[in-house]
Structure formats: C-alpha cells, structure tokens
C-alpha cells in the first residue's frame, strides 16, 4: 500500500461517517450503537491521516509500497516501519526494534504514538489539530487518545456501553476529523 492511499481511505471514511451522521435520526434505541460505530470509524480516519503525514513529511518515496519495501534509513531516522518486526529473507530486518520501546509501527494501529513521537514536533503540523499543535476540543482529544481498534468488539451486545458518546461529541469529533484532513492536505 502506498502512503497516499492512507489519505484517500481517510477521506472515504470521513465521507461515509458524515453521510451516516446526517442521515441518522436520533432518538432511537440504536443511538448508542450508531455513536459507537462513528467513533470506531473516526479512529481509522485519524490513523489514515497520521500514516500519510508521517511518511510524506519524512520523505518516504511516493512510489514505494510501505508494506513491502524495507527502507532502513527511513526507519532509522523516524523509528517507524509498517511492521512491528519486518522480516527480510526470514530474518528480522531491524533486530533491535523488539527491545526498543520507542519503535513505531503502522501494523498495531497505535497512531497516537506516531503522533506524539513523530508528528507533534514537526513544524509542518503546527496548524493541524491532534497530529500537530492546532486547537482541539479537549473532550475530542481525550476520545482520540483512548481509541483502539478493539473498541468495536469490546462492547458488543451491551446497551449504551460508552454513555459519554452522544450526538454532540460525535459531531465535534467528525468536525475535528474534517479539520485534520483539510489542514493536513493544505500544510503537509
């Protein structure tokens, strides 16, 4: 997968979330499930933008697949690789990464670490909420910080498992995702 595809996927998820949000009529027994689904998908929006920004800002070759291409100089500079433990010819390409608590990977969906360790300090992200130093609603920032991919499955079958999710916070979250997307495209 090429890093530009992550931005494309993020925009596609954002459009889908906005369509679902606009078409949903609140006041249903299903509200909490809709808010949970939108929260879940918003994490992938931000992850996609994060991956795109990290690879673009640190000059990954645009025509190199981030999954299949091993780029030791990029990984040494950024501590980022798609894989937690990239294998080349059956051996670990970066043996020291296993013991390095600062090693970053796309594979585990911990985009928050990529943001904190790689993007926030880059001047190009200054105006971008969350991935940089742009203004962000503290409730939304907390939601993003606590996002994990298993959130969708952790609460299956439970009624209103995350009671703080409601129409207002989801609207603010989606608005923030949109701003992150626009500012990233404009500034990075």
Summarize pLDDT for 87-143 with one digit per residue, the tens: 888 888 888 777 777 789 999 899 999 999 999 999 999 999 999 999 999 999 999
Measured in whole angstroms, the distance separating CA 128 from the mean position of its chain's CA atoms is 13
pLDDT band at 155 (very low <50, low <70, confident <90, very high): low
pLDDT one-digit tens code per residue, 22-71: 998 877 767 788 898 999 999 999 999 999 999 999 999 999 999 999 99
* DSSP H/E element including 81: strand 80-81
**pLDDT in the model for residue 159:** 62
Q: pTM of this prediction? A: 0.91
Among the listed residues 104, 105, 85, the one whose alpha carbon sits nearest the alpha carbon of residue 95: 85
Please tell me the total count of domains within the chain.
Answer: 1
**What is the CB neighbour count within 10 angstroms for residue 132?**
23
Domain that holds residue 176: 3-187
């Amino acid at each position: 997968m090429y890093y530009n595809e992550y931005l494309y996927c993020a925009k596609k998820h954002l459009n889908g979330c906005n369509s679902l949000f606009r078409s949903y009529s609140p006041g249903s027994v299903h509200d909490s499930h809709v808010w949970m689904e939108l929260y879940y998908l918003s994490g992938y929006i931000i992850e996609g933008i994060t991956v795109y920004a990290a690879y673009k800002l640190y000059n990954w070759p645009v025509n190199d697949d981030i999954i299949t291409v091993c780029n030791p100089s990029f990984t040494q500079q950024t501590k980022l690789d798609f894989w937690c433990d990239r294998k080349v010819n059956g051996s670990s390409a970066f043996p020291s990464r296993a013991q390095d608590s600062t090693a970053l990977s796309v594979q585990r969906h911990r985009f928050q670490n990529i943001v904190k360790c790689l993007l926030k300090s880059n001047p190009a992200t200054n105006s971008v909420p969350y991935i940089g130093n742009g203004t962000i609603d503290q409730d939304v920032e907390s939601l993003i910080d606590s996002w994990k991919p298993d959130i969708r499955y952790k609460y299956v079958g439970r009624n209103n498992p995350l009671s703080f999710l409601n129409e207002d916070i989801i609207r603010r979250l989606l608005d923030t995702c949109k701003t992150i997307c626009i500012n990233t495209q404009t500034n990075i």
